Amino acid sequence: MCADVLIVGPANVDLVVPVERRPAGGETVLGGDTAVFPGGKGANTAVAAGRLGADVALLGAVGDDSYGTLLLDSLRAAGVSTELVRTTDRPTGIAYITVTPDGENAILVSPGANSSLRPEDVDTVLDGVKVLVVSLELPVPTVEYVVAAAAAKGVRVLLNLSPVAEVSPATLAALDVLLVNEHEAAWLLDTEPGADPRRLLESGPRAAVVTLGAAGVVVVEGDGVTEVSSPKVEPVDTTGAGDAFAGALAASLAAGAGLVDAARRAVGVAAISVTRHGAQPSYPTAAELAE
């Protein structure tokens, strides 16, 4: 089995609670009604690509429970192949999310079934894949194995270094695209946000994309840096916006777009997503982008 875009990553159900402010340590804060959405970095990225018409598959795991069913239904509705999503005896992963009135979120993740994903699961599914996307919501050894296996097969590899963690120099050197936000870039460079993004290529990747929230993104390639601005929107929920960007970027790269053009389209997708509630339900289709 193969697809143009292969996403290796977690599938979680998002339990989202609106709050006026986040509680401090030892403090209780009352929130609004809990909303349940399909989520998880892997599943979100796959759905974002699928809703844009990409040939995409998710390699992951869910539990044999109602949350697992919700995730599988959402993936399939977006056109994502779920043949590589294993059902395990562990509970489906859950993300506990608070969202403040300005649309910003704070997230606690319980991985559950996602922890049962085996690195070697990727070995037999890389033939024919054009772009592979993986994030750091998986254990670092798994990520490093997946990146090395894909690179050895000549697959274009995109690593979303989120949540930020240290990976080996060999892993960074195997990347076609390193995707980070400005804080992750600063952590990687051991400096304050705003440092010269060209330094990211010194760590090994052939290109890097730094997301800047409402300001857009910076695309770093060997021949220079390109700034891509974001449309001005009124955000209501930023949950999953980075995943929307990653999925749209992968979809465009698999279709043959250059990195700057792919980033420009992905910025538009992410901007739309923050104007809607939830992660996967907020992602636009190709038809919506054309309107």
Q: Which of 89, 176, 243, 261 is catalytic?
A: 243
Predicted TM-score (pTM) of the model is: 0.92
d(CA 50, CA 76): 9
The predicted structure's pLDDT at residue 193: 82
The predicted structure's pLDDT at residue 290: 76
Ligand-binding site membership of 282 (annotated)? yes
Q: Which domains does the chain have, with CATH numbers?
A: 5-11+42-87+118-290 (3.40.1190.20)
The predicted structure's pLDDT at residue 1: 61
Ligand-binding site membership of 40 (annotated)? yes
DSSP assignment string, the chain: ---SEEEE---EEEEEEE-SSPPPTT--------EEEEE-HHHHHHHHHHHTT--EEEEEEEESSHHHHHHHHHHHHTT-B-TTEEEESSPPEEEEEEE-TTS-EEEEEE-GGGGG--GGGGTTS-TT-SEEEEETTS-HHHHHHHHHHHHHTT-EEEEE--S-----HHHHHT-SEEEEEHHHHHHHHTS-TT--GGGGGGGS-S-EEEE-GGG-EEEEETTEEEEEPPPP---S--TTHHHHHHHHHHHHHHTT--HHHHHHHHHHHHHHHTTSSSSGGGPPPHHHHH-
Q: Across-strand partners of 220?
A: 208, 225
Ligand-binding site membership of 276 (annotated)? yes
The predicted structure's pLDDT at residue 136: 87
Phi, psi angles (nearest 5°) of residue 53: 95, 5
Q: What is the pLDDT along the chain (291 residues), one digit of tens a residue?
A: 679 999 999 999 999 999 999 999 999 999 999 999 999 999 999 999 999 999 999 999 999 999 999 999 999 999 999 999 999 999 999 999 998 998 888 889 899 999 888 888 999 999 999 999 999 888 899 999 999 999 999 999 999 998 899 999 999 999 999 999 999 999 999 888 878 999 999 999 999 999 999 999 999 999 999 999 999 999 998 888 999 999 999 999 999 999 999 999 999 999 999 999 888 999 999 998 876
Task: Answer yes or no: 243 catalytic.
Answer: yes
Ligand-binding site membership of 27 (annotated)? no
The predicted structure's pLDDT at residue 211: 96
Other CB atoms within 10 Å distance of the CB of residue 216: 19
Task: Read off the pLDDT of residues 138-182 as tens digits, 9 standing for 90 and up.
Answer: 889 999 999 999 999 999 999 999 889 999 999 999 999 999 999
Q: Across-strand partners of 261?
A: none
The predicted structure's pLDDT at residue 126: 95
The predicted structure's pLDDT at residue 249: 98
Q: Which of 152, 148, 150, 181 is nearest to 167 (CA)?
A: 148
Ligand-binding site membership of 130 (annotated)? no
Ligand-binding site membership of 191 (annotated)? no
